[in-house]
């Protein structure tokens, strides 16, 4: 093997003659996983097992120490989701048309008092486990943390393991699991835990569309549709950021595969339209078209302008009270927030400043760290293919999720073979 490794490969000979050899075909997903070594699989299983143990210890201790009712930021939303589920279960659904019922009265004539500005997806799984018997905040938190919470953390680990390897995925998810201030406390809120779920389920769906073929791809397209339908029935600001991120990730992954990119965008868009369409249909049945447009106008006006006109405030109050619509009069002057300097100031003061300069610098260094490995990988791919330009572009495109490590060729691989650009004495790992 050592002698054949030092000998010129056929692609190098063709490159020297001015000819171009075709790139080796990419193996299927099953063969890629099968090509990984036992050590690779053991690393994945070991990291996932470690994460599982830490997750059970951290969240088990947090819930046990607080009698299943942790006093954390925004945990009032657990009670909101529980009461939404209770109202959906207890009162006539054809009066609210399935919208979020915010009324807390035990008397049926007081219902519904509808929240019309988003679908509030978390109340639906809360309703399911409410029907199954979880009818207290404590039981809702327990069940959600060890069902949706477990799945959400696995989605995060699995996606990051595919992109950057299991060890990086383990470190990232351990940070999430143990960072009480910025994440851990929200993971035991039955409303907020769905943010992590939808963030990584969306990215995994986009990822799966490009990996699958035939029936498997159709399944991923269906899952993407369902995922984004649920996402768009959630918190609309979060929907905007997640859907844009997913669309850009699809563009970054499949810009050389326009058909796959178009399928991903279509599945994402149709799912989103379905989720928004369900909400609009519910609003139409509850309000009618005229009141629906009036609700949209008044909400946009009060949230984006200074509504200090007494006549306008009286109009808003009359509209929402007459139709039993929940509306929070947190009306502020947003004029000073509509500038680039205000945006940068908020990012540094309320995000990076809280993270501390040291941690922020470490994150920036780590996020830009793959640049050098990518360039090294490009040179190795160029040596294998014999065509520097093409292989360099291929390496740049996939540098986030390829790792070329020096080491002996795996058994069963021919001495002069390369697996999508992995030269002899290197092994490419793909999860």
pLDDT digits 0-9 by tens, 336-369: 777 888 888 888 877 777 777 777 777 777 665 5
Average pLDDT, the chain: 79
**H or E segment to which residue 429 belongs:** strand 426-429
pTM of the predicted model, to two decimals? 0.74
* Orientation of helix 388-398 relative to helix 371-385, angle to 10°: 140
Number of domains in the chain: 1
Name, in order, each residue with C-beta under 8 angstroms of 415's C-beta and a sequence gap of 6 or more: 1, 4, 5, 409, 424
261 in a domain, yes or no? no
pLDDT digits 0-9 by tens, 200-258: 999 999 999 998 788 999 999 999 999 999 999 999 989 999 999 999 999 999 999 99
CB atoms within 10 A of CB 81: 27
380 in a domain, yes or no? yes
pLDDT digits 0-9 by tens, 325-341: 988 877 777 777 778 88
208 in a domain, yes or no? no
Say what the pLDDT of residue 366 is.
64
Helices marked H in 132-214: 137-145, 148-164, 166-178, 185-187, 193-211
d(CA 387, CA 385): 5
378 in a domain, yes or no? yes
pLDDT digits 0-9 by tens, 163-201: 999 999 999 999 999 988 889 999 999 999 999 999 999
404 in a domain, yes or no? yes
Higher per-residue confidence, 353 vs 89: 89
426 in a domain, yes or no? yes
101 within 8 A of 282, measured Cβ to Cβ:
no
**Residue in the structure block whose two tokens are 């659904």:** 93
By percentage, how much of the chain surpasses pLDDT 70?
74
> Does 406 have pLDDT greater than 70?
no
17 in a domain, yes or no? no
386 in a domain, yes or no? yes
Which range marks the domain in which residue 395 is found? 371-431
**Diameter of the chain measured on Cα atoms:** 88
**H or E segment to which residue 268 belongs:** helix 258-287
φ, ψ at 22 (rounded to 5°): -65, 150
Say what the pLDDT of residue 41 is.
87
d(CA 4, CA 17): 20
């Amino acid at each position: 093997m050592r002698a054949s490794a030092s000998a010129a490969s056929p692609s190098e000979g063709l490159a020297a003659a001015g000819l171009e050899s075709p790139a080796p075909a990419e193996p299927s997903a099953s063969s890629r996983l099968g090509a990984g070594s036992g050590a690779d699989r053991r690393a994945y299983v070991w990291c996932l097992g470690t994460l599982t143990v830490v997750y059970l210890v951290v969240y088990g201790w947090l819930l046990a120490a607080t009698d299943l009712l942790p006093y954390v930021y925004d945990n009032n939303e657990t009670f909101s989701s529980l009461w939404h589920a209770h109202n959906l279960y207890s009162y006539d659904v054809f009066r609210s048309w399935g919208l979020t019922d915010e009324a807390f009265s035990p008397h049926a004539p007081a219902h519904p008092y509808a929240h019309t500005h988003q679908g509030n997806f978390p109340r639906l799984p809360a309703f399911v486990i409410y029907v199954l018997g979880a009818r207290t905040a404590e039981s809702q938190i327990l069940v959600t943390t060890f069902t949706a919470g477990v799945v959400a953390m696995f989605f995060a680990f699995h996606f990051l393991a595919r992109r950057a390897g299991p060890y990086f995925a383990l470190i990232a998810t351990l940070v999430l699991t143990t960072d009480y201030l910025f994440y851990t406390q929200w993971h035991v809120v039955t409303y907020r835990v769905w943010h992590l779920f939808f963030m990584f389920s969306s990215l995994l769906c986009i990822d799966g569309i490009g990996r699958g073929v035939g029936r498997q791809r159709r399944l991923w397209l269906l899952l993407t549709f369902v995922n984004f339908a649920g996402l768009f029935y959630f918190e609309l600001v979060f929907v905007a950021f997640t859907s844009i991120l997913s669309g850009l990730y699809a563009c970054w992954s499949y810009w050389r595969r326009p058909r796959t990119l178009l399928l991903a965008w279509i599945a994402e868009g149709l799912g989103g339209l379905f989720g928004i369409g369900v909400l609009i249909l519910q609003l139409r049945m509850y309000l009618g078209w005229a009141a629906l447009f009036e609700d949209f106008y008044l909400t946009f006006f009060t949230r984006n302008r200074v509504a200090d006109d007494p006549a306008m405030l009286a109009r808003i109050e009359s509209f929402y009270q007459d139709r039993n619509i929940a509306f929070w009069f947190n009306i502020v002057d947003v004029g000073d927030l509509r500038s680039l300097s205000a945006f940068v100031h908020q990012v540094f003061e309320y995000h990076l400043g809280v993270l501390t300069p040291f941690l922020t610098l470490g994150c920036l260094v780590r996020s830009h760290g793959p640049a050098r490995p990518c360039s090294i990988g490009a040179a190795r791919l160029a040596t294998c293919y014999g065509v520097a330009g093409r292989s360099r572009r291929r390496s740049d495109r996939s540098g986030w999720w390829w790792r070329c490590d020096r080491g002996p060729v795996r058994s069963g691989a021919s001495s002069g073979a390369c697996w999508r650009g992995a030269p002899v004495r290197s092994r490419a790992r793909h999860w």
